[in-house]
Amino acid sequence: SDEKIELEDLLNTEDIEVGAELGKGAFGTVNEGLYQKVMRVAIKKVSAEHLTDAATMLDIVNENRRLAKCDSPFVTRCIGTAREMEGGRALLIVLELCNLGDLKGHTNDGQWKILKGSNMCPVPHGEMISITLHVLLGLAYVHGKKMVHRDIAARNIMLKTDKGIVVAKLADLGMSREM
């Protein structure tokens, strides 16, 4: 149910190994890790100070329930959520690992500084077209699930390579709402 967090809705923290930090976000850190000792994952750790009340925690868990319902190659896969073992105050969100990071980081590297003021773009046009198409397919999928994303931004588009091809995936359905 969407009214409360059931224990069976949470992943077993013993199945989660937190590794190196990949970055920081508004609500905490994102680390690389392992799930069930075999699957490389991203672990979004929402720090306790952002979990001020049960309603906030429920919103985060419900976001990930929505994400877990998605089965599209163009939407970041959510494996599930867990309470941090030490003190149980932080929330761990286990997600598909996108090895290239977000679109903002992909286009914000040193190449932009070198090309600033020119008409050249460091991202090949074919890759830009593919990324755009993937984002549109992800949005079509989410809309087909009767959800609206409401926060499309370069930081919420994750990139990964699949058989040498860059694949773009929608992420962070935190602002999304069901229609």
Tell me the two tokens of residue 117.
Answer: 């003021």
Tell me the two tokens of residue 6.
Answer: 């059931």
Please state, in angstroms and rounded to a whole number, the distance separating the CA atoms of residues 94 and 22.
Answer: 14
Q: Are strands 28-35 and 147-148 parallel, antiparallel or unpaired?
A: unpaired
Torsion of CA 14, 20, 26, 27, to 10 degrees: 10
Beta bridge partners of 81: 10, 93
| Residue of 59, 151, 162, 172 marked active site | 151
Residue type, 137: L
Active site residue 71: no
Tell me the two tokens of residue 172.
Answer: 């962070």
Catalytic residues: 151
